[in-house]
Structure 1
């Protein structure tokens, strides 16, 4: 299970629901939306939040950015494989420039064009204190976290059934196939190919 915090030197973001405040991916077709009671939260605590695999979409993303204008408790936000497209970034920059606590945003596995990636690059340029990870090849820790997740799925039939039904792994493979490997380091290229190969084998499909 990928756990929140991997990119900040702790553990990787969660992608399977086990409880607590982090929705975890059970299925691409049946997205979770806070199915358990929310815990009491210290208003001054800095928290991570994983929405990986949730059907947030572009409209949901725009609303989330607006909410983050005034948020002062969130430090890490994981939005991998959440169905966000370029239109979901329309208000991203002004909203997150107004936020003072967020230090990490991961948003990989979403269908963003070059224009969308430029928006994220602008955010990174204007807010250097915020680490934005938008592509698999940009962070070796991310690639390793997904490789570890695949190994856990292989060892857990229940996880495998949920993920196959949801098509989340197929989405990851599709994104990996579209990467321009010529722009990646040899090490990243090897990890990308390994991840693509492992997921394809897990799904019983040709790479």
Structure 2
């Protein structure tokens, strides 16, 4: 018997797929922290090389490339963090690293927007980062490219321009934890499922955005990403 909702449920967040009429429905968003040593250093942190760590964003935070968003509320210091995003088409629990890539559908350019002042305040009080990380339009994403079309993850360049100036520039080879390692580790704590997205961390060069900023992200082999920030 169909459910009789008290009010209309939210629209299903989706991501377009390169060369496909079908779209990728988003289930959950996992984000890897401090996965580039240079970024950890610029934030005054050491890298934990024993295991990756994570935070999450709501699926409703998804923001597609190509438009303009309002400067986030409640912050005076919102930062950009360019990321390589992995989309899963199958799931699993306690997946061995050797089998992890079998879960992957494809990849996209992404930006993790962060209310840095709120994140910093939470860190000082040893509180969760939710206010700093999980908010509307905080998970910007470009078009997904199927895994087979992208090829092996290696030395592809990952970069971000703010107002035409390159501010983040690295390669995927600089990730501390590889995609198979991340999937295998994450699957020890969650039953991963189709539609899950993993933002795999940001390289050095994160910094503030302002009303009027234009962000343009690129990863070799993927569709570029562009977003404007309004006042």
Whether the TM-score (by the shorter chain) exceeds 0.5 is: no
Higher strand share: 2
Which structure has more relative contact order (CA 8 Å, sep 6+)? It is 2
- Normalization by structure 1: what TM-score? 0.29
- Normalization by structure 2: what TM-score? 0.27
Higher helix share: 1
